[in-house]
Chain A
């Protein structure tokens, strides 16, 4: 066995272990901050798996989008609202856990069944396009995958508009109680009340 193949096998097993253990940690750990950071680790290891498959562009995009944007935003949101509160005990937690475990196990067995019954079309060892893949992805995005690509961007736009509508506060220029004009240029001013228009 050559050194390159051995390195690949070692990398693959380490990455897969990190993905599986990390993913288990994400759902099983009690501390939500740990879960969020572990999720970042899982994303990184998935990027590593892409690298092993010679898909360096996809790996970098995975890091940029999932680690750099999605995971940072998740952690950001958790830290902004991280209140310490005692959660109420949920009734019949045991039976709920049994039901959810069985559903997950069913899904897992379905996936395993698909994996085993499908004949995977493996590419020839020398057919990998490697660095060319960036160009190939671009060509696909602007030809046969143009519609899904555009629909995804419209979806993102809708989510953004929704977020703005939810987060937007109408600010009035005069104080409700006194009727005096108020400088609202910098909303975060500490000593002036934030006036929310009530309809």
Chain B
């Protein structure tokens, strides 16, 4: 078991060197990774918004943003600042308590789920034992926030959008959980760290995508549906529902929805890369590189190299998937609500059940390849 860099331990050791008790050092440490993850999530959203604007422009043969900073990289910041200073309107006949609580309930579970996203052996906030199950549980809270804001807006489009969002989220949660279950079956653990380590044996060849191709596709479709991205953006289908549950929202409350949906997209891409694409693993195992360079695996240089490669690989894989999602959004038409529910219940659910059954059978037949 290689431990890799352990920042928490060394940070606590430094603070203890100043004469602080270990408990106090722990309390000073606690908010740091959380802040770091929050900041990186928001920066990730800014990058994704810029990518979305640029790629959509390319897909429609436009130039896209170009005046704010080089290539328009400051455009998302300008967008964010504009939303920040806009007037915060609560419609006169809306239910002001639920209207305010709705966006918060949508955003908080998404940010909490970052708790389990690993960027390296020790580079995550908390290696909780229930790992990926925590994400599934937390993402099931979101529809309540959507229903709440849809109801509180006192607008028929909002209510319809909220109801659609809840129906969609419930339908796609089940195949999503079942495809995750197949991975968990192969790993014998729910922890995201274990899931990545189980794929790190032979570099790119041991990634789960080769052993779970069907699960990968099901997971990706369901993740897009959970993020309400086109072709599944029915809750906010602008031709039918104005903007769905966001219709009455303005200013910072709208920004919360906006932020939530993009953080959710990045989170889903990160989780796909963790579950199916080897997480922080480099396509060639680092052990082999270390052997070629003739360095021991726990040499400080190699440790720093491994950690930075890990972060780069995780982010790179995630952003490749984000790119695919953006490309899908700007090139595919929207499905109808009955097609959406049909796809979820009549196609993805049976397929994911069969996938689980086949995985269990293969695990018994070939324990060395499918995690005995």
Most buried by A among B133, B137, B148: B137
Asked if A12 is at the interface of the complex by the 8 Å CB criterion, the answer is: no
Asked if A116 is at the interface of the complex by the 8 Å CB criterion, the answer is: no
B148/A37 in contact, CB under 8 A: yes
Q: Specify the chain B residue showing the minimal Cβ separation from A58.
A: B130
Give A53 to B308 CA distance when docked, in angstroms: 37
A68/B173 in contact, CB under 8 A: yes
A residues near B7, Cβ cutoff 8 Å: none
Q: Specify the chain B residue showing the minimal Cβ separation from A2.
A: B23
Most buried by B among A56, A61, A68, A186: A68
Interface string of A1-45 (1 = CB under 8 A from B): 011100000000000000000000000000001000100100010
B133/A75 in contact, CB under 8 A: no
Give A80 to B129 CA distance when docked, in angstroms: 39
Looking at the assembled complex, report how far the CB atom of A122 sits from the nearest CB atom of chain B, in whole angstroms.
Answer: 23
Partner of A75, one of B129, B138, B141, B147: B147
Interface string of B130-171 (1 = CB under 8 A from A): 100110111011011001101100000001001100110110
The answer to whether residues A3 and B23 also contact, given A67-B140, A67-B141 and a CB cut-off of 8 A, is yes
A residues near B159, Cβ cutoff 8 Å: 79
The answer to whether residues A188 and B338 also contact, given A40-B144, A72-B143, A72-B147 and a CB cut-off of 8 A, is yes
Q: Specify the chain A residue showing the minimal Cβ separation from B188.
A: A135
Looking at the assembled complex, report how far the CB atom of B141 sits from the nearest CB atom of chain A, in whole angstroms.
Answer: 6
B residues near A61, Cβ cutoff 8 Å: 137
Asked if A60 is at the interface of the complex by the 8 Å CB criterion, the answer is: yes
A residues near B173, Cβ cutoff 8 Å: 68
A56/B130 in contact, CB under 8 A: yes
A residues near B143, Cβ cutoff 8 Å: 68, 72
Give A68 to B23 CA distance when docked, in angstroms: 36
Interface size class of B (residues with CB under 8 A): 20 to 34
Q: Specify the chain A residue showing the minimal Cβ separation from B170.
A: A72
The answer to whether residues A63 and B140 also contact, given A79-B151, A79-B159 and a CB cut-off of 8 A, is yes
Q: Specify the chain A residue showing the minimal Cβ separation from B174.
A: A69
A residues near B166, Cβ cutoff 8 Å: 72, 75-76
Partner of A69, one of B138, B140, B190: B140
Describe A's contact surface by its main secondary structure.
helix
Asked if B47 is at the interface of the complex by the 8 Å CB criterion, the answer is: no
Interface string of A45-89 (1 = CB under 8 A from B): 000000000001100110110011101110110011000000000
Give A60 to B98 CA distance when docked, in angstroms: 25
A37/B27 in contact, CB under 8 A: no
A130/B148 in contact, CB under 8 A: no
A60/B133 in contact, CB under 8 A: yes
Give A72 to B141 CA distance when docked, in angstroms: 8
Give A71 to B143 CA distance when docked, in angstroms: 10
Partner of B141, one of A3, A56, A63, A131: A63
B residues near A4, Cβ cutoff 8 Å: 23
Q: Specify the chain A residue showing the minimal Cβ separation from B150.
A: A79
Give A2 to B136 CA distance when docked, in angstroms: 34
Q: Specify the chain A residue showing the minimal Cβ separation from B159.
A: A79
Asked if A134 is at the interface of the complex by the 8 Å CB criterion, the answer is: yes
Looking at the assembled complex, report how far the CB atom of B256 sits from the nearest CB atom of chain A, in whole angstroms.
Answer: 18
B residues near A71, Cβ cutoff 8 Å: 144
B338/A60 in contact, CB under 8 A: no
Interface residues in B43-64 by Cβ distance below 8 A to A read: none
B residues near A75, Cβ cutoff 8 Å: 144, 147, 166
Asked if B299 is at the interface of the complex by the 8 Å CB criterion, the answer is: no
B140/A56 in contact, CB under 8 A: no
B residues near A33, Cβ cutoff 8 Å: 98, 151
Q: Specify the chain B residue showing the minimal Cβ separation from A61.
A: B137
Looking at the assembled complex, report how far the CB atom of B334 sits from the nearest CB atom of chain A, in whole angstroms.
Answer: 16
Asked if B343 is at the interface of the complex by the 8 Å CB criterion, the answer is: no
The answer to whether residues A76 and B130 also contact, given A64-B140, A67-B141, A188-B338 and a CB cut-off of 8 A, is no
A residues near B338, Cβ cutoff 8 Å: 186, 188
Interface residues in B108-145 by Cβ distance below 8 A to A read: 128-130, 133-134, 136-138, 140-141, 143-144
A76/B137 in contact, CB under 8 A: no
Give A40 to B98 CA distance when docked, in angstroms: 13
Q: A residues near B, CB below 8 A?
A: 2-4, 33, 37, 40, 44, 56-57, 60-61, 63-64, 67-69, 71-73, 75-76, 79-80, 130-131, 134, 186, 188
26 contacts between A and B (CB under 8 A): A33-B151, A37-B98, A56-B128, A60-B134, A60-B136, A60-B137, A63-B140, A63-B141, A64-B136, A64-B137, A64-B140, A67-B141, A67-B144, A68-B143, A68-B173, A69-B170, A73-B170, A75-B144, A75-B147, A75-B166, A76-B166, A79-B151, A79-B162, A131-B128, A134-B130, A188-B338
Q: B residues near A, CB below 8 A?
A: 23, 27, 98, 128-130, 133-134, 136-138, 140-141, 143-144, 147-148, 150-151, 159, 162-163, 166-167, 169-170, 173, 190, 338
Given A56-B134, A79-B163, 16 additional A-B pairs, CB 8 A: A37-B148, A56-B129, A57-B129, A57-B130, A60-B133, A60-B134, A60-B136, A64-B136, A67-B141, A68-B137, A72-B147, A73-B170, A76-B163, A80-B163, A131-B128, A134-B130
Closest 5 CB pairs of A and B: A68-B140, A131-B129, A60-B137, A64-B137, A63-B137
